[in-house]
A and B are shown apart, each in its own frame.
Chain A
Amino acid sequence: MSLPTRGLLLLALALPAGAARAALRPGDAFPALAGADLAAGRLPATRGRVVLVDFWASWCAPCRDSFPAYARLQTAYAARGLVIVAVSVDRDAAAFAAFVDHFHPPFAAVDDRTQRLVRAVSVPAMPTCYLLDRGGRVRFVHEGFHGEGTEQELRHEIDALLTEPFRSP
């Protein structure tokens, strides 16, 4: 096979592979929340903290179950350095406000109305939460919310991350 022929075939095979979007995995750096154009809430300080970033929506049934669980995690771990940021992907501001009014979460709830952050993260399912270590790196990814099982897993992972010291990246 001649060189131009090989080149053309390689290019053709690379086309579909190049179109795939890479989802965030453990070890990746999480995009900066501060620069994500998030609406409707104030972002808490996250530097040096273990951060749980949850992507949710008012139309997502399991997200309704997840909020009380995150409230329990906030109560149990906030004093030890856990910060929870619940990022809504709702485009409808009224639906976001109604959900937040209903649950009154004791943690930060912000709206990614432009869906810029969720596109950058490319969440694989709704809801998905990311546990970031004190250096801002993704350490655990949880797809969906499966009740007590998910809460127990999160507690186990948060316990482990909180014992790690902060190393400035």
Chain B
Amino acid sequence: MKTTSVRRYLPLLLVVLGIGALSGCTSTNLVRVQPWERATLADYTMRPDRDPLATALTDHVYTSRETAAGGRGVGGSGCGCN
């Protein structure tokens, strides 16, 4: 009797546990760095273009491989403000 009951509800239990576990992926509070926590992201060392020589080299490779240039500008600062 007990085994039958467990078998009956096992798939449902697995679905519930699965949704519970995946809810962590959908919650913005758990996976997002909050706007007020972005001091480190705004630091100069986090800028991808902080080294002009490395930027020029990357641009050169990009141009020669992709036959394209530009389109690398991003508005705002590293903190994603505004």
Contact = CB atoms under 8 A, between A and B. Distances in A.
A144 B79 CA distance: 12
Interface in B1-40: 9, 12-13, 15-16, 19-20, 23, 26-30, 34-39
B27 A16 contact: yes
Interface of B: 9, 12-13, 15-16, 19-20, 23, 26-30, 34-39, 42-43, 76-77, 79, 81-82
A11 B16 contact: yes
Contacts, number: 80
Contacts of A124: 35
A60 B12 contact: no
Nearest to A117: B36
Give the interface size bracket for A toward B. 35 or more
Interface string A124-157: 1111100000000000000011100000000000
Contacts of A146: 82
A101 to B, nearest CB: 19
A97 to B, nearest CB: 15
A19 B27 contact: yes
11 contacts: A5-B9, A8-B13, A12-B20, A16-B23, A16-B27, A57-B42, A57-B79, A59-B43, A91-B39, A92-B39, A144-B82
A162 to B, nearest CB: 27
Contacts of A92: 39
A92 to B, nearest CB: 7
Contacts of B20: 12, 15
